[in-house]
Structure formats: C-alpha cells, structure tokens
A = this chain, B = another copy of it.
Amino acid sequence: MSWIYEKNFEVRDYECDLQGIVNNAVYQNYLEHTRNSFLKEKGPDLKALHDQGIDAVVARIEIDYKFPLRASDNFFCRLAVKRDGELKLVFNQEIVLKDSQKLCARAKVVVVCLENGKVSMPKVIIDSFSEFLE
C-alpha cells in the first residue's frame, strides 16, 4: 500500500471503556477524522461539500482489530484511496502505535457521494483528489 496521508493522535482517557482499552466504536472516530482531515487539506472539506448539496457517506466499513489501544497511547492513522468503479471511493486505513510501529487496526472504508440525494461522483471530488487516486 502506498500511504498518502498520515495523522497523529493521542488516546484520551474518556475514549477507553470498562475493559481499560479504547472502545471499538472510537476507532471509527479516528478513521473518520483522518479521512476528513485529508479531505480538508487537499480539497473541499465535508462541511463545504454539505453546503453545496454533496454528502460523502460511508456505504461499508470493515475493521480488523489487531491490538488494543490503551490510555495515553500515541499512534497515527494513515490512508490510501482509490476509485472502485464509477461511483465508489475506497479508503484503506491503518492505525499504528507510534513507538513500536505495532499495527492496532486495519480498515477498508467504502465511501459514496450523494448529490441532492442521488449517488454520484461529483466533479469537485475528482478534480480535487485525482492526483491521490491510485
């Protein structure tokens, strides 16, 4: 995988649950924040798209949990993106501990765009991200 974007994080205590590890749902927060930060840096952000009538939504997500994140862990989340057919964007993402480079989670996220409620691949998306699409 040729990663094109990376974002640093630190586990916040409130993200951990009874078992003393980061709750599974919170990984999706990290994955989403990484994708949205990528969008914001490289083109129109989610809010700007929403205001133009375009919503980028997750159609499918697969996450393999490999090793638990714990309180105060420093980690990064990286991504690669490619088109899948006419209408889908597929993000491959990994969550990796900073010091040990241990893989904590691997995800595949399928995103589609809704333009005024209909699935489409808006020109603004292609124009902004074409250089990154594998």
Residue positions of A touching B, CB distance < 8 A:
12-14, 16-21, 23-26, 28-29, 32-33, 36, 40, 45-47, 50, 55, 57-65, 68, 71-72
Contacts of A36 in B (CB 8 A): 12-13
CB distance A13 to B24 under 8 Å?
A: no
Number of copies: 4
Assess whether A13 is in contact with B28, with CB atoms less than 8 Å apart. no
Q: Smallest distance from the beta carbon of A122 to chain B beta carbons, Å?
A: 15
Contacting residue for A29 out of B21, B25, B62, CB 8 A: B25
A18 neighbours in B (Cβ, 8 Å): 13, 16-17, 20, 46-47, 50, 71
Q: Looking at chain A's contact residues, is the secondary structure mostly helix, strand, loop, or mixed?
A: mixed
A71 to B39, CA, bound (A): 13
A16 closest partner in B (C-beta): B18
A12 and B29 contact, CB distance less than 8 A? yes
Could you tell me if A61 and B63 are in contact, using CB atoms closer than 8 angstroms?
Answer: yes
Residues of chain B within 8 A (CB-CB) of A33 are 12-14
